[in-house]
Structure 1
Amino acid sequence: MSHPEPHAALQALSTQLGPELLLTDDFTRGLYASDDTPRRCMPEGVLFPKTHEQVRDIVAIARQYRVPLVARGAGSGNVGGALPLPGSLVLSFECMNRILDFDPVNRTITVQAGVITQDIDQLARSQGLFYPPDPGSAPYCRIGGNLAMNAAGPKAVKYGVTRDYVLALRAITGTGAEIRTGSRTSKGVVGYDLTRLLVGSEGTLALITEATLRLLPAPNARATLRVCFDSNVHACEAVARVMAGHITPSALEFMDHHAIEAIRATGAASDLPPETRALLMVEADGEASDLPRQIRALEQSLQGPGLLELLEARDPDAITALWTARKSLSGAIKRIAPLKINEDVVVPVTRLAELLAEIERLTRHYELPIVTFGHAGNGNLHVNLMVHPEDKGEMARAREALLQLFKAVLQLGGTLSGEHGIGTEKRDYLPLELDPATLAVMQGIKRQFDPDGILNPGKALPMRS
């Protein structure tokens, strides 16, 4: 690869697109210099395309001048997936925010990559449908970022993740080739499944410009249970009983005692039994007439050793009140330390208690606050190491604790990321999980789609020597 020529590329892009779609002032570049990680790198400029064709032209010019392109939605990712690198250009999809087609009869919606995720769901619900993937950032994250990271959320335990709702894509590869993948039909096995390959590829293979998504009939009622236990072990045993039962909850969330103490400090959980050391939030949805049956079955599964309290809510205000503590958690734990190293590891549901025991051991051994919560129904926990970045000793202990955490996850039959992706933060840990032959195949796929390495280089896969 020849030496990048960012300044020549900027001139060519300004001529092609017009100066209003390319900003190079320090203020704008500063706004796009990071995602939700503490790292920063100023890009050479920020591009704001509005059409598929403009993205195609941008890739062609970037390839000509060998300039890296970093795609960006809302910048809400926390693994460095949208982090610029020296000499790169950020390609922001926020101006590609049009709904291209909404077909309630066929239960599909086609959108540009910059559409806000929650807006898709709200439009679907206007016709009795819904878009199930529900990342915590849904009110402001964009569907292109969800596609790049294969985002999920609490409802994934019942409804699956972003990849499960993508029927077709329109994209531009690193060669500038325009490709269409999948079809608008619910069935189709023509050719290789490039749709599922691109979803979760973190913008390293192609830039997704449009997506056709599958919608489902919206449930018309839901009920929520708040369940308190005296230990992680007893809470995890209850999770296993629920997931072995015949009712799949629409959400099954977990909080450890560190998380509980964090929200207690805000006053959001003052009514919890004082002995509570682990908390589950369990939700069921569907037809209102069927909810009592589902709740009875879930309550039966949740009964067991260590149960302190089981509180039910069905009306919207009561449900909102029960979820207040869970939704206040991310802000609450930031009071512990200024930097949150947030890992979203996954283990089989039956190994959750072992993972939590290992996390407690790491907390004691490395003398670090570690707050754990997340999507217990999937075995997907968010493990938050709370650190002071100016304390070099503490940061060194955190790095070692992270390595030991990942090794424990893999020994328990798990995986290093459930929904946040790899980006730069987990990139160098991939060889712990993937063997050299598998990584070589993935590197080959990258070269096929992006032979010059201009699409989000240094992300998702270990750097090649």
Structure 2
Amino acid sequence: MSPSLPAPLISALQRLLGEHGLLLDASERVAYGYDNSRRQALPDAVALPTTRDQVLELVRLCRSHRVAITARGRGTNTTGASVPVHGGLVVSFERMNRLLAIRPGDRVAVVEPGLLNGDLQQALQAHGLFWPPDPTSAPYCTVGGNLACNAGGPRAVKYGATRDNVLALTAVTGQGELVSFGAATTKGATGYDLSRLLIGSEGTLALIVEATLKLTPIAPHRRALRALYRDVDSAAAAVARLMAQAVTPSMLEFMDGECVRLAREVGGADLPTAGALLMIEADGDEAVLAAAERALRQAADGDGCLAIDAAPDEATREKLWAARKALSPALRTIAPGKINEDVVVPVSRIPDLVAGVGVIAKARQTKIVCFGHAGNGNLHVNLLFDPAEADQAARAEAALAEVFATVIALGGQLSGEHGIGLAKRDFLPLAIDAATLAAMRAIKHAFDPDGLLNPGKILPD
């Protein structure tokens, strides 16, 4: 039994959640204390609720005993957002994983937060629909986790990120109140849009217990192009051209030369040597795809373009995308340490960001590899180093601060889809002025006056 929680609270939670609904043994709790950031902290207990009423009551119980609460999906986030740094109670939504309804006529699905993104997509296929957010971890991340960090993915360039694809939410605030925002309509002008406020709040404002998702019809056809470039500068310039013309690609991904090598040697993609690569897709009716492909080819071509090839078949396309999704773990073949940041700038400033990162890498003698969702201006900047070498680690940290400063100077943001969590909390004042931070703290207080929901995340001390 955990000695850190009051005995009356433990007894009340056991009565509420049932025999197997509260984990107290350290060997069980440890699995809920870390995420993909490799940070770790041991919670005092883990709750496994199955209903919204249980979530409502456990928040009220924790509030009465002033115990911190950290919501958790599957722990795939990279910022430490689900690490219980203040101990307390982790609320895992793995048992609240029901698909409550699919209504094709309204193009909505109603889900519980523990439903896996991949399971949702599979269920929607039979109706010819999909939910646009598709992070790399889609097969095993939860919808609740997607909501918590406003997840995106390659399709966001055309279809939007999580925040753009949610119509309504039901949640439990830090005061132990059940609140509902929005409705199953694509238009609405009734009061404040608080659903969009909760999305991306990383469990610091409320615990989401139900979501009504906006669905999109699956495009009947797709065409994929692979554009190779002499260097990253010419590829970045092509991104700006592609997003300035009329045809919006359904995906537009960027890989620098090192990523091209990894995709070939580790991911098994059939790729020649190149300084950079763009993966470009269009989707829609067959009648319009030929014109869309011509427009995208014309925009992708230009100074430094070595070749533009169409994927000859679906198998080739899938193999290339699989290599792209394998890039993040493949980076550990270069160095054992990795700082992966998902910065975002206006698309027109991508050439400046790529050039700035190159200058920083050279000045700090740090290997920096870039890939990501170029159509949104969202690049994953990976700083590689050996943690056992203190000098390398120090140079990487200094380079990171300079990358963030460059992003802010270009009118960008610290995160495009991973969120702030612990990893970027202390950098937030670089991006947000004092008056705006004060407004954010006031909102936090309104939802969670005792500061019990995911304390220590997002807002700096």
Say if 1:116 and 1:143, in contact at 8 Å, map to a contact too.
yes
Amino acid at match of 1:348: P
In structure 2, what is the equivalent of residue 461 of structure 1? Answer: 459
Residue 318 of structure 2 corresponds to 320
Give the aligned partner of residue 379 of structure 2.
Answer: 381
Correspondence 1:121-132 to 2 at 5 A = 121-132=121-132
Structure 1 SS opposite 2:381: strand
Note closer, same or farther for the CA distance 1:324–1:138 as it changes in structure 2 (3 Å cut): closer
Q: Which residue of 2 aligns with 1:367?
A: 365
Deviates more, 1:37-46 or 1:10-19: 10-19
1:446 corresponds in structure 2 to 444
Q: Secondary structure at the match of 1:419?
A: coil
Aligned to 2:421: 423
1:375 Cα deviation from its structure 2 partner: 0.6
Contact 2:182–2:195 (CA under 8 A) maintained in structure 1: yes
TM alignment of 1:17-416, pairs within 5 A = 17-266=17-266, 268-269=268-269, 271-272=271-272, 274=273, 276-313=274-311, 315-416=313-414
The CA distance in 1 between the partners of 2:154 and 2:292, in whole Å, is 18
Distance 2:60 2:98 in 1: 24
User: Which residue among 419, 432, 435 is the counterpart of 2:433?
Assistant: 435
Q: How many residues are aligned here?
A: 458
**Structure 1's 270 and 109: CA in aligned 2 closer, same or farther, altered over 3 A?**
closer
Deviations 1:199-230, CA, capped at 9 Å, x for gaps? 11110000000000111111011111111000
In 2: Cα distance, 1:267 partner to 1:373 partner:
14
The answer to whether the 8 Å contact 2:86/2:455 transfers is no
Quick check: 2:241–2:300 contact (8 Å CA) kept in 1?
A: yes
CA distance in 1, matches of 2:267, 2:254: 19
- Which AA in structure 2 matches 1:127? H
Q: Deviations over 1:56-113 (max 9, x none)?
A: 1110111011111110011000001101123321110111010111111111110000
Counterpart Cα distance in 2 of 1:302 and 1:341: 30
Which residue identity does 1:190 align to in structure 2? Answer: T
1:314 positional shift: 5.6
For residues 400 and 201 of structure 1, the distance between their equivalents in structure 2, rounded to whole angstroms, comes to 28
SS in structure 2 at match of 1:342: strand
For structure 2, the residue ranges without an aligned partner over 5 or more in a row are none
- Paired residues of 2:101 and 2:111 also in contact (CA < 8 A): yes
Contact 1:112 1:210 in 2 (8 A): yes
More deviation in 405-414 or 124-133?
124-133
2:282 match: secondary structure:
strand
Q: Do the aligned partners of residues 435 and 267 (structure 1) sit closer, same or farther apart at CA in structure 2, a change above 3 Å counting?
A: closer
CA distance in 1, matches of 2:7, 2:409: 48
Do the aligned partners of residues 7 and 82 (structure 1) sit closer, same or farther apart at CA in structure 2, a change above 3 Å counting? Answer: farther
Instruction: Check whether the contact 1:6–1:88 (CA below 8 A) recurs between aligned residues.
Output: no
Preserved contact between residue 269 and residue 320 of structure 2 (Cα < 8 Å): no
Cα distance in 2 between the residues matched to 1:139 and 1:204: 25
Task: Report the CA distance between 1:289 and its aligned residue.
Answer: 2.5
CA distance in 1, matches of 2:201, 2:409: 25
Could you tell me how far apart the structure 2 residues matched to 1:331 and 1:399 are?
20
Find the residue that maps to 2:20 and give its secondary structure.
helix
Shift of 1:10: 2.4
Equivalent position SS for 1:347? coil
Does the aligned pair in 2 maintain the 1:34–1:40 contact within 8 Å?
Answer: yes
Query: 1:113-140, CA deviations, whole angstroms, 9 ceiling, x for partnerless residues?
Result: 0001122222222111111111111100
| Deviation digits for residues 358-408 of structure 1 (CA, Å, limit 9, x no counterpart) | 211222222222111001111100001112223222222211111111001
1:127-165 Cα shifts (integer Å, max 9, x gaps): 111111111111000000000100000011101010111
Cα deviation, residue 322, structure 1: 2.8
Normalising by structure 2, report the TM-score.
0.96
Task: State the 1:270 CA deviation.
Answer: 5.1
Q: Aligned pair in 2 of structure 1 residues 351, 6: CA closer, same or farther (>3 Å)? A: farther
Distance 1:130 1:395, change over 3 A: same
Looking at structure 2, the residues matched to 326 and 370 of structure 1 have their Cα atoms a distance apart, in angstroms, of: 17
- State whether residues 9 and 67 of structure 1, in contact with CA within 8 Å, keep that contact through their aligned partners in structure 2: no
Cα distance in 1 for residues equivalent to 2:8 and 2:169: 31
Q: Distance in 2 between matches of 1:121 and 1:150?
A: 17
Q: 1:364 aligns to what SS in structure 2?
A: helix
In structure 2, C-alpha distance between the alignment counterparts of 1:150 and 1:381, rounded to whole Å: 16
Deviation of 1:269 after TM superposition, in Å, equals: 4.1
SS at match of 1:170: strand
Q: State the AA in 1 paired with 2:375.
A: G
Moved more, 194-203 or 126-135: 126-135
C-alpha separation in 2, matches of 1:45 and 1:54: 16
| Distance of aligned partners of 1:416 and 1:53 in 2 relative to their CA distance in 1, 3 Å threshold | same
Task: Using the TM superposition, give the Cα deviation of residue 198 of structure 1 relative to its aligned residue in structure 2, in angstroms.
Answer: 0.6
CA distance in 1, matches of 2:278, 2:88: 44
Inter-partner Cα distance in structure 2 for 1:7 and 1:300: 69
